[in-house]
Structure 1
Amino acid sequence: MIDRMFSTRRSPEILVFRLFLLVAAVAFAAAPGLAQDHFDAHRGRGRIVVLMVWDGLRPDFVTQRDTPNLYRMAREGVRFDKHHSIFPTLTMVNATALATGAPPGVNGLEGNVFYLPPSAGTPASVSNIAPGEAKPGAPTIAKDAQGRMVWTEGARAIVDLNGADGFKGRLIGLDTITQEVAREGGYVAVIGKQGPTSVFDNRVETVVGGKDILGEPHQDYLFASDDLVEPKSESQKISAAMPPDSKTAIADGQRDMYFARLAVEDALPAAKRAADAGRPALVVFWQHNPDLTQHIAGLGTLPAMQALSLCDNNLMRLRAAIEALGIADKTDLIVVSDHGFATIKFRIVLSEMLVSAGIKKSHDSTDVIVAPNGGADLVYLSPTEFPTPQSRHAVLQKIVNFAEAQEWCGPIFSRESAPPPDERSRRGRGRRAPKPYLGWIDGTFSQRVVGLYNSARSPDLVISFREEPNADNKGLTGPGNPAFLIGEIGQVSTRNKSAELVHPVKGLVYADTGTSKTFTTGMGMHGAAGEREIHNFCAAIGPDFRHGFVDFNPTANTDVAPTITQVLGMLPNIGPGGAVPSGRAMAEALTDGRHGAGGSHTQTMTTDLMLQGVEAVTTIQVSWIGDEPYLDSSTVEHKPLGSSP
């Protein structure tokens, strides 16, 4: 628990204090009387929280012209001006952070696409893909002994992973906020896009007789996504009415409208009944858009702007229903996005490039496995091919040296934080210890800096691709513009599949989508550690939130679940082994008289790597509130050797 909350400011006193907090939290959960006294002010008052997610919404896209309803809501309630996505800035990573309040190093889900070794208990039914692919396909590596790649947004992937043949209810490192509400006897509705919805209620298909696979209560609920509806009594009605996959200009826009109807006509009335009985209620509504349309059409295109309008109309419907049901005085509405967005400048196929560089045996080999995730790649080494720390260090340094020499490379995060013994010896006992935020591979940061380190599931490297935040997509987005791919044979031209550009949008990124031909230059992408993708949107309104307030403190997706927990008056979530959310309740935005978060400060962290004739200097900026880090941005610069002071 202490390791995952890595801080460059940590002192022995802080370590002791954090250990005290952990012990106190465990004792607190074990003392029902104390907990009851503490939460009397909130428990039993029948609060409703509606969490509406606009997938892929950038904060600068919320304007009076394009999203008038959201623009007005953010000014009537609370606008979180410095809200952060969790790195990697991917949907499933941030869905899990939103659901648990914990970063990937604690919750265990580190990518949309990630690799599971054979010992991880992956069920044969889970959608899986070959090592170089970015989309679900045939189970091409299910038969070998090397494990498999999992695409978590695939049909039923999460619920299958977490079923009786998989992780048996423990795929995620701790319970989600919806599971907490269900355990309290409240009402839960999770509606919308497949994948992220399955994270919020990842045991829903195991419910029998009002209890899930872990024996936890789960009685009053609705789950409706593209590929699963529960309980079974609702399945036929909802599935029959659900529109088919949409291939129109607004991708899956009809489904987003249908899911909004479910939230208005089914979920909110059920939440009202629970609240009237003094029970908590949580409604999660996750839209496909604007993410899906921004991916396919590109940022600043007419379809992308239409997708924003559709989402804004769905918000209007939700707020109107809350008023019509007479529950505005007991309903808090939080609108958040999972990540930001940028425009693809070049497509990269890292696995092919490592083959051509002689580092990886072949595109589909399992000596070096690359899980492509758009703006970031997860890299895993085979423990049989590289059985010793020395052999692993050698090949990882080759990968880092190769990547950081390229124009497309952003910051790289390595699994280990300290050099192995032979490296410490080689560097000399008399030298000062390396800065604690550095990784054990030269030129990298430690995964602990961004909450990524997980002893069971962390990849060996997380490579973020480079973002250019202030360059716009004019000349890139539009079918008449050139498109480029960098792969095994170098740079080649491809067809540009993006739509016509209406308004240029700043923020470009290099991206690896594997060998999939879906994405091209000019389309939208995310996943990297650049400021356009890291900074996402969050606003809230309701009886528990201040009015007309702008929160200038750093906040993040990990802070949303603890805030909901406090609003609903529930106990802090503690998982197996004492795992707890690292996020904080955004108390400064609440009306219950609590004091604010206090001041924040910013820290700049830098790595440098000496290459042939060039020094690669990578910088990340991190803001802190107390011991909680918020990754702000990253930059990369190549300097001639000897030019640095």
Structure 2
Amino acid sequence: MPAALRAPSSGVLGSPGVRGLGGHPVSSGRAGPGSTGDPGGGVLGPSRLGEGAQLAGSRRLGIIVVIDGLRPDAITPQDTPVLHALGQDGAVATQGRAVAPAVTRVNAASMATGELPTRTGITGNLLHVPEVAPAPFTTADARNLLRLRERTGSIVDTVTLAERIEHAGGRFVAVGSGSSGSTLCLNPRAPDGVGTLVNADDPAKGAPFAWPPEVGDQVHARFGPPPPKGRDHSNADSSDYATRIVTDYVLPMLDASVVMLWLTEPDSAQHRHGVGSPAATDALRRADRNVGQLVDQLERLGLRDEANLFVVSDHGFSQAARTVDVAQDLVAAGCKEGPDSTDLVVARTGCVGIFADSEERVPSTVEWLRRQDWADLIFTASHDAASPLGWVDGTFALELLGSTHPTRSPDIHVTLAWNQLAEPTGGWTGLYASTGGSTASAPGGGDHGNLSPADVTTTFRAWGADIARTRSEVPVGNVDLAPTVLALTGLPDEADGRHGRVAHELLTGEHERAEVTIDRRIHTTASADGAYAAELKTSLVAGHRYLDQGRRIRET
């Protein structure tokens, strides 16, 4: 267990006084394309951020650790002693929420911006943008995202946390142990000279390693090349490598204001072996050790009393019951001309996104979906902004998902059926049909992306100088990370109407607020013939919507 947890000074990460970052100097600005030192038309010009406030000379260090696929019920004193101790000494949000769909790159982009897919444009792990490729392409590969940037002008369509921090004179650093695309989603402006990004994935993929390039050179010189995949494609060695970059390079040498560290396990192990499997448990224990190494280094560097640490997950996890090839089934039913036809384009991303070449095809496709036993909730765009219902009979509005991007959102979004396991595997609940396509989502393995509590409920814990010791049942989401971190750095959130909010209920001192109220709602829809019905449970906190659970209402 980390030394900082064995001997806490005040029950949290130290005194509330601000004393600067452990002797690390604060840079007044960094010249370079797109930085505050380059007024010549970079991405941080007045057209994007205005003159904005500056970080004070004394400030907090914000650290976000994302543990991919970590279900909160996996945190136990036996398997995750560090995370358990952090919860005892800090804040635990029992109702953490993923952004829909509950998949990695969608949530990475929302963490990095404080916005939902409507504004980020990352609407799935696969995107369908014909200007980039005729078929849906994976966002796991940074080269695809750079091609998206080249063809459409941006990876995300909103201001990022990295931009705000850098514009105020601070430094943002993102280090990821997973795919190059996942890491790039944490700082999509890195290629434009904003902040620092290091990807620690398998170098055999040939994806970009770091921005700026000299940081990648320094990391290579200090730590060697990123490790290859471990046995059975494990990412645990990559997570260890990424953690060392943060503990031994970023924290002592880069004078960072905000650091994001993405640990890819136990996601990979759970996909292949299922939640609660021995392989997943081993991966979980290694991730816990990574967090412990980080906390110990904060103590050694004298940063313990100045830091706020958030440990979150991008999504939960379920067991996969069977695989479904939606495109093939649509062809067999006569709804789609052929496997590669463009009349209906299917993007499988845990859930299913369907892009139609004409509005006329949408109702008949929805009618077919309602007859499939694996189909759960169906979403289409709303013709009435005030209505929770989509324009097609028996559908919910895409607006409820926060996924109405003008060019990248699907015409139809369908989630997959789920149920609570009567005899949970290893104590793990949640079961649903997977969209398949690889061994990662074969029966017996795990998957995510639907609207079951097992998928949308995420880990959300915090520990630090400005964090209360509390257990909160107020819903808080991945979309709230950026606004909350901005508040703790002393920067005002200048974006009116931001999708995310500051999680005041987890904070203390000047950031603490009165108790918030929760408005819980149940939305229902049904087809005109009564053969299909579904419900979606949501919570509203200060006007911000969280998705709690959605399921088809079936006859018992």
Alpha-carbon spacing, 1:30–1:115, altered in 2? closer, same or farther (3 Å): closer
C-alpha deviation, 1:187, in angstroms: 2.1
Conserved 8 A contact 2:200-2:238: no
1:629 corresponds to: 545
1:325 corresponds to: 301
Please state if 1:507 is matched with 2:427: no
2:41 corresponds to: none
Paired with 1:365 and 1:380, the residues of 2 have a C-alpha distance of 11
1:462 corresponds to: 413
Alpha-carbon spacing, 1:629–1:267, altered in 2? closer, same or farther (3 Å): same
Conserved 8 A contact 2:227-2:241: no
Conserved 8 A contact 2:419-2:430: yes
Paired with 2:105 and 2:51, the residues of 1 have a C-alpha distance of 34
Report SS of the residue matched to 2:302.
coil
Report SS of the residue matched to 1:314.
helix
What one-letter code is carried by the residue in structure 2 that aligns with 1:508?
Answer: L
Paired with 1:570 and 1:61, the residues of 2 have a C-alpha distance of 34
Equivalent residue runs for 1:105-120 within 5 Å: 105-118=118-131
What is the TM-score with the length of structure 1 in the denominator? 0.74
Equivalent residue runs for 1:325-474 within 5 Å: 325-374=301-350, 376-382=351-357, 386=358, 392-393=359-360, 395-418=361-384, 436-472=387-423, 474=425
Paired with 1:598 and 1:504, the residues of 2 have a C-alpha distance of 33
Conserved 8 A contact 1:443-1:608: yes
Equivalent residue runs for 1:30-429 within 5 Å: 43-118=56-131, 122=132, 142=133, 147-162=134-149, 165-168=150-153, 170-192=154-176, 193=178, 194-207=180-193, 218=195, 221-226=196-201, 227=207, 228-239=209-220, 241-248=224-231, 251-270=234-253, 273=255, 281-374=257-350, 376-382=351-357, 386=358, 392-393=359-360, 395-418=361-384
2:520 to 574, 591, 602: 602
What one-letter code is carried by the residue in structure 2 that aligns with 1:354?
Answer: L
1:541 to 448, 456, 463: 463
Q: Which whole-Å deviations, capped at 9, do the CAs of 1:225-254 have from their partners, x for residues lacking one?
A: 423123222324534723433241571111
Q: Which whole-Å deviations, capped at 9, do the CAs of 1:37-69 have from their partners, x for residues lacking one?
A: xxxxx7332211110000011111111111111
Paired with 1:599 and 1:460, the residues of 2 have a C-alpha distance of 34
C-alpha deviation, 1:517, in angstroms: 5.2
Paired with 2:419 and 2:489, the residues of 1 have a C-alpha distance of 41
Report SS of the residue matched to 2:382.
coil
C-alpha deviation, 1:103, in angstroms: 0.6
Q: Which whole-Å deviations, capped at 9, do the CAs of 1:192-246 have from their partners, x for residues lacking one?
A: 1222220122122333xxxx5xxxxx5xx45334231232223245347234332
Please state if 1:585 is matched with 2:536: no
Conserved 8 A contact 1:597-1:625: no
Considering only CA atoms, is the larger Rg found in Structure 1 or Structure 2? 1
What one-letter code is carried by the residue in structure 2 that aligns with 1:533?
Answer: D
Q: Which whole-Å deviations, capped at 9, do the CAs of 1:524-554 have from their partners, x for residues lacking one?
A: 100111111000001001101112x112211
Paired with 1:361 and 1:295, the residues of 2 have a C-alpha distance of 32
2:3 corresponds to: none
C-alpha deviation, 1:416, in angstroms: 3.2
2:490 corresponds to: 569
Conserved 8 A contact 2:272-2:439: no
Identity among equivalent pairs (%): 28
Report SS of the residue matched to 2:480.
helix
C-alpha deviation, 1:597, in angstroms: 5.3
C-alpha deviation, 1:615, in angstroms: 2.1
Alpha-carbon spacing, 1:517–1:367, altered in 2? closer, same or farther (3 Å): farther
Conserved 8 A contact 1:52-1:284: yes
Q: Which runs of 5+ in 1 are unaligned?
A: 1-25, 37-41, 123-141, 213-217, 275-280, 387-391, 419-433, 475-502, 641-645
C-alpha deviation, 1:76, in angstroms: 0.5
Paired with 2:236 and 2:514, the residues of 1 have a C-alpha distance of 39
Paired with 1:27 and 1:200, the residues of 2 have a C-alpha distance of 22
Conserved 8 A contact 1:159-1:204: no
Aligned Cα root-mean-square deviation (Å) = 2.4
Conserved 8 A contact 1:469-1:531: no
What one-letter code is carried by the residue in structure 1 that aligns with 2:516?
Answer: G
C-alpha deviation, 1:456, in angstroms: 2.7
What is the TM-score with the length of structure 2 in the denominator? 0.85
C-alpha deviation, 1:470, in angstroms: 4.1
Paired with 1:373 and 1:306, the residues of 2 have a C-alpha distance of 26
Paired with 1:412 and 1:625, the residues of 2 have a C-alpha distance of 25
Conserved 8 A contact 2:65-2:261: yes
Q: Which whole-Å deviations, capped at 9, do the CAs of 1:3-34 have from their partners, x for residues lacking one?
A: xxxxxxxxxxxxxxxxxxxxxxx9997686xx
Paired with 1:456 and 1:596, the residues of 2 have a C-alpha distance of 40
What one-letter code is carried by the residue in structure 1 that aligns with 2:522?
Answer: T
Conserved 8 A contact 2:59-2:490: no
C-alpha deviation, 1:171, in angstroms: 2.5
What one-letter code is carried by the residue in structure 2 that aligns with 1:414?
Answer: T
C-alpha deviation, 1:320, in angstroms: 0.3
Paired with 2:87 and 2:237, the residues of 1 have a C-alpha distance of 26
Work out the number of aligned pairs and report it.
500
Paired with 2:267 and 2:488, the residues of 1 have a C-alpha distance of 29
Q: Which runs of 5+ in 2 are unaligned?
A: 1-45, 202-206
What one-letter code is carried by the residue in structure 1 that aligns with 2:125?
Answer: N
